[in-house]
Structure 1
Amino acid sequence: MCVIEPSPVIETRRLVLRAPGPHDAGRLVALANDANIARMTLRMPHPFSIDDAEAFVVQVAGQNPARAQTFLIEHEDHGPVGVMGLFEDKDPAPEVGYWIGRPFWGRGYATEALEGAQVWASKRWKRRALMAGHFADNPASGRVLEKAGFLYTGEVRKGFSRARDADAQTRRMVWLA
């Protein structure tokens, strides 16, 4: 039986993944209003304003927890450092997406958060597989996914990037529990 948690919390060695709240909006803007982050995502606009952050928090609060979970990635010393989401889409398995604020790149936070989310997804959400994709011009994201055990499927899809206002080639990956 799948246990539905409306607002789960995932703890890893250095991080806590939790639901974003209204008090996080300013920090989200400070981290996400970066063209180099937004252009590597499908849905994030650039510029990213306080209105965008507030709308994001409201949208997350309204998610169906059986079909989507979005987490603020919070470091024990630095506070919020990024966002990770798992959601059901057109694929047979839920998709995972994430971003980390530029001051925190290269520290392993994305991999650590992803590994925590994988454990949660398999134990609490009862998912046996996750899908992910990264833009072909973002090999660093591919390395994060590989470190977390994702494998390339060989499929490349076009994905519309809101910040780019254009399609980008997305290399698809899968993780099996």
Structure 2
Amino acid sequence: MCVIETSPVVETRRLLLRAPSPQDIPAIARLANDEDISRMTLRMPYPYGANDAEAFVVAVAAQDPAKANTFLIEHEALGPVGVIGLFEDADPAPEAGYWIGRPYWGRGFATEALEGALLWTGRRWRKRALVSGHFADNPASGRVLEKAGFLYTGEVRKQFSKARGEPVETRRMVWLA
């Protein structure tokens, strides 16, 4: 029998992955209100304000933990640095998506958070495969996925970016446990 955690917490060397809470709304809004972040995601609008962050926190609280888990990425000394989510979509395997606030780019937080989420996915969520992707004009995200063990599938999809207001070529990747 698989036990579903309703508010899982994942600890890595420097990070804590946990459910976002109402007190995180200002930090989420501040970090996410960056066009260079939102335009590299499918679902984030730009500009991104406190109302968007509040709606995000409410939506995460309403997720079915058997089908989706979204974590605030919190650094032990710096506080919130980004978000990572795992969710079932139209693909046969669940999808992983993430973003890191600009002040924290280049520090390995995305890779560390993704590796922690993948470990949790296999052990607690009992998933043996995940898919993800990155926009063709965001090779840095592809490097994060590669470091975490994702492989390119060769598929390129046009996927709609809310912040860009248009479809964007997305290079698809897969991770197998």
Q: Same fold (TM over 0.5)?
A: yes
Q: Tell me what 1:28 maps to.
A: 28
Question: Corresponding residue for 1:142?
Answer: 142
Q: What is the root-mean-square deviation of aligned Cα atoms in Å?
A: 0.4
Give me the whole-angstrom Cα distance separating, in 2, the residues matched to 1:18 and 1:45.
23
Cα deviation code 1:54-86 (max 9, x no counterpart): 000000000000000000000001000000000
Structure 1: where are the runs of 5+ without partners? none
1:83 to 2:83 alignment: yes
**Cross-structure match for 2:56:** 56
SS of the aligned residue for 2:126 comes to coil
So what's the TM-score if we normalise by structure 1? 0.99
Local SS of the residue matching 1:80: strand
Q: Give the secondary-structure state (helix, strand or coil) at the position aligned to 2:158.
A: strand
How many residue pairs match? The answer is 177
| Equivalent AA in structure 2 for residue 133 of structure 1 | G
Structure 2 runs not aligned, ≥5 long = none
Residue 3 of structure 1 deviates from its aligned partner by 1.8
1:7 alignment partner AA: S
SS of the counterpart of 2:77?
Answer: coil
Could you tell me which residue of structure 2 aligns to residue 4 of structure 1? 4
1:175 aligns with 2:165: no
1:2 Cα deviation after fit: 2.1
1:17-76 deviation line (CA, Å, top 9, x unaligned): 000000000000110000000000000000001000000000000000000000000000
Instruction: Return the letter of the residue paired with 1:79.
Output: G
Q: Aligned runs of 1:93-112 on 2, under 5 Å? A: 93-112=93-112
Give the percent of matched residue pairs that are identical in Structure 1 and Structure 2: 73
Residues 30 and 49 in structure 2, CA contact (< 8 A), matched pair in contact too: no
